[in-house]
Amino acid sequence: MNKSADLRPDAMAATHDVFNQATALEGHNLYAGDTALREGVARHGGGWGEADLQRYGEVCGRADVIEWGYLANEFKPQFDTHDRFGHRVDLVKYHPAYHHLMKQALTEGLHSSPWTDPKAGAHVVRAAKYYLHSQVESGHCCPITMTFAATPSLTLTPAIAEQWLGKVHARDYDPRNVPHTAKQALTLGMGMTEKQGGSDVRANTTRAYPLGQPGPGEAYELVGHKWFLSAPMCDAFLMLAQTERGLSCFLVPRWRPDGSKNPLQVQRLKNKMGNVSNASSEVELRGALGWMVGEEGRGVPAIIEMVAMTRFDCMIGSSAGQRQATLQAIHHAAHRSAFGKMLIDQPLMQNVLADLQLEVEGSLAITLRMAEALDNLDDPRQQLLMRLGTAVGKYWICKRTPHHAYEAMECIGGNGVMENCILPRLYRDAPINAIWEGSGNVQALDVLRALAKTPAVLEAWFDELGKSVGADARLDQAVKTLQSEFSDLAEAEYRGRHLVDQLTLTMQAHLLVQAGDTAVAEGFIASRLGSQGDRQYGTLPRGIDVKGIIARGRQDA
Ligand SMILES: Cc1cc2nc3c(=O)[nH]c(=O)nc-3n(C[C@H](O)[C@H](O)[C@H](O)COP(=O)(O)OP(=O)(O)OC[C@H]3O[C@@H](n4cnc5c(N)ncnc54)[C@H](O)[C@@H]3O)c2cc1C
């Protein structure tokens, strides 16, 4: 007798009910649900952007927009050296989702709004908007950031600025592989790193030869290579190359103005563990045309204008990664029960979730404070704060993000490891910002360099911290200890990371005290100042209002 005939048809079809699983987090307003962000924007002078941020928060929570992020990473960029007839094209082809993300970012002005509409709070509002946008997908943010960051460098050479900035700032996206002269909207990249040196760009061997007169704004041909050149479909790149007077900066277009292909040839795309939606390439320059930006032999000071801005954007991007990871972890915990209680109500999970949220609060606080400093660069004190703040903030936030992403993943359990969850992407993307644009040690050394060159940067930092004197004895003590550490700079390089750690933590604690949420300030100070040692997330001491802290990170769609 056929045994299966005994089985009822409905039993064959339905093996079980699906229950106790979280829902996808979509159809929500990413701004409305972010208490820390809304408060921060208002506190740092961006209140006028509230309506636009509310609008954009809804866009960034839309299911179709979230899906773009998945598609742009699932379908990796493809590279063709030549077209089918044998012409050199250096063409990178992307999934349409990547182009949607690019268009979205550019039409929202994430690459240009503080330059085209400079006013109090312009950088704060742009930072907040970018923070929302980056949570959808971070890979395509690389060319957006580079385009944004290039403006201060291009401005050094008025002839170039006049010719390029209008199109660089345009709120449009033109992905065609055609000369910049045929486009109304352009994107920009950067090429510093060579095989023999990335952090130490003085080792660059690429050479630039003047075609006529040498000097700023003049045409040169570049011969050499770049070992990393991200977003190679950008319309032009700021690059370093040696001239007779030393390392200089050049703007190198993909195509020459006469319509011929500039011999900036992509050798291959990098095979990266993260940031995969963004193509990164190795290129050779075989007499590529470029125009000098800034003074001859002053290439590093010229491109450092751009680097300062990309570092600031790394702070935004990594803070955004932390926020998205925490949001997902809290959402999951609010919809999943174990051992008879929702995860979000389990004391040990509350400790972990609140700790993850405290990390976000600290990252966002220092990022928005630096955005405010950027909005006020006509004030020398803000300039000094900014000089130290981007190195300190980039170092700390980017370095904290990979482990933070992993802890958020663990909150979600097995589902958090699967590629149809955003956590694996957040985790793989997390180390990139830490390495790109100056790795951890290089940032720490940059802080020491700034201190040696302009001791007033430290004064400005402590002046800012001074605004919280008397608010909390533990913070007062931490600041005092830090001051005494700086009074003896013996073996400063060796101690560099420790010093920067303490600069960041005291600044974050101060900013959170000023922000006025006592649960957050108390949780942060109690867990991060003093001799906490090498702690894990989820080790907050007793007496912290973990529910209050988690509520600030919770998104109720
Ligand atoms: C995804 C991705 C995209 C990138 N895109 C671009 C791009 O578009 N354009 C571009 O120009 N570059 C790009 N880079 C390159 C990146 O900027 C470099 O990898 C980075 O600056 C480090 O340089 P390096 O790889 O040569 O490492 P190295 O310079 O060899 O550094 C290795 C390590 O040594 C440390 N170190 C260096 N000097 C010291 C010191 N004095 N004391 C102590 N420690 C030190 C560094 O912190 C680092 O941890 C990209 C990198 C990645 C991963």
Q: What is the rounded CA–CA span in Å between residue 302 and residue 161?
A: 13
Look at residue 380 and give its three-state secondary structure: helix
**pLDDT for the residue 61:** 97
- Is the C-beta atom of 440 inside 6 A of ligand 1? yes
State the helix-helix crossing angle for 299-335 and 122-134, rounded to 10 degrees: 50
C-beta of residue 62 within 8 angstroms of C-beta of residue 27? yes
Tokens for 331, please give them.
């959402």
Task: Please tell me whether residue 184 adopts helix, strand or coil conformation.
Answer: coil
Q: Is the CB of 228 under 6 A from ligand 1?
A: yes
**395 close to ligand 1 (CB < 6 Angstrom):** no
Q: How far is the CA of 436 from the centre of ligand 1 (A)?
A: 6
Straight-line distance from the first to the last Cα atom of the chain, in angstroms, rounded to the nearest whole number: 54
Q: Which residues of the chain have pLDDT under 50?
A: 1, 557
Degrees (nearest 5) of the Cα angle 152, 153, 156?
Answer: 95
Computed over its alpha carbons, how large is the radius of gyration of the chain? 25
Question: Cα angle at 215 between 211 and 220, to 5 degrees?
Answer: 30
Q: Is 88 helix (H, G, I), strand (E, B) or coil?
A: strand
Give CA angle at 535 (132, 492), nearest 5°.
90
**In angstroms, how far apart are the furthest CA atoms of the chain?**
96
> Which residue has tokens 């050394």?
445
Euclidean distance between CA atoms 260 and 350, whole angstroms: 61
Half-sphere exposure (Cβ direction) of 265: Cα atoms closer than 13 Å:
12
CA of 289 to the centre of ligand 1 (A): 26
Residue 198 Cβ contacting ligand 1 at under 6 Å: yes
Ligand 1: which atom is nearest the Cα of residue 439?
47
pLDDT reported for residue 557: 45
Q: Specify the DSSP class assigned to residue 4.
A: G
> Ligand 1: does its nearest atom lie under 6 Å from the Cβ of 193?
yes
Residue of 142, 435, 500 to test ligand 1 pocket, by largest number of atoms within 8 Å of CB: 435
**Facing residues of 209 across strands?**
221
Cα 247 to middle of ligand 1, angstroms:
18
Over the stretch 441-495, which tens digit does the pLDDT of each residue have? 999 999 999 999 999 999 999 999 999 999 999 999 999 999 999 999 999 999 9
The number of residues in the chain equals 557
Distances (CA, A) of 409 to 145, 212, 333, 342, 348: 27, 57, 11, 17, 16
Nearest in space to 319 (alpha carbons), one of 376, 399, 230, 407:
399
Q: How far is the CA of 197 from the centre of ligand 1 (A)?
A: 8
What's the CA gap between 56 and 50, in Å, rounded? 10
Query: What's the confidence (pLDDT) of residue 259?
Result: 95
Scan for tokens 């208002």, then name that residue.
42
Which residue, 391, 400, 427, 362, is CA-closest to 535? 400
User: Which helix (H) or strand (E) segment is 189 a member of?
Assistant: strand 188-191
Report the distance separating Cα 53 and Cα 59, nearest Å.
10
Residue pair 48/125 in contact (Cβ under 8 Å)? The answer is yes
Q: What does the alpha-carbon distance between residue 101 and residue 93 come to, in Å, rounded to a whole number?
A: 14
The pLDDT of residue 4 is: 52
Query: In 3D, which of 81, 94, 86 has the Cα closest to residue 263?
Result: 81
The vertex-102 CA angle with 96 and 107, nearest 5°, equals: 125
Strands 236-243, 188-191: pairing is parallel
Q: What is the pLDDT of residue 534?
A: 65
CA of 477 to the centre of ligand 1 (A): 36
- Closest of 266, 459, 260, 264 to residue 450, by C-alpha: 459
Å from CA of 199 to ligand 1 middle: 5
Rounded-to-10 torsion of CA 392, 394, 397, 402: -130
User: Of all atoms in ligand 1, which is nearest to the CA of residue 192?
Assistant: 11
Which residues on neighbouring strands pair with residue 79, listed in sequence order? 92
> Which two tokens mark 71?
């598609």
For residue 116, the tally of other CB atoms under 10 A from its CB is 15
Closest C-alpha to 26, from 404, 331, 319? 331
pLDDT in tens, 308-365: 999 999 999 999 999 999 999 999 999 999 999 999 999 999 999 999 999 999 999 9
Is 434 touching ligand 1 by the criterion CB < 6 Å? no
Name residue 277's amino acid: S
The tokens for 288 are: 């590529």
Using DSSP bridges, classify how beta strands 246-253 and 236-243 pair: parallel, antiparallel or unpaired.
antiparallel
Residue from 439, 491, 498 whose mutation best tests the ligand 1 pocket (most atoms within 8 A of CB): 439
What are 54-57's contacts with CB under 8 Å, separation 24+?
Answer: 54/29, 56/31, 56/108, 56/129, 56/132, 56/133, 57/29, 57/30, 57/31, 57/32, 57/33, 57/132
Q: Hey, is 91 helix, strand or coil?
A: strand
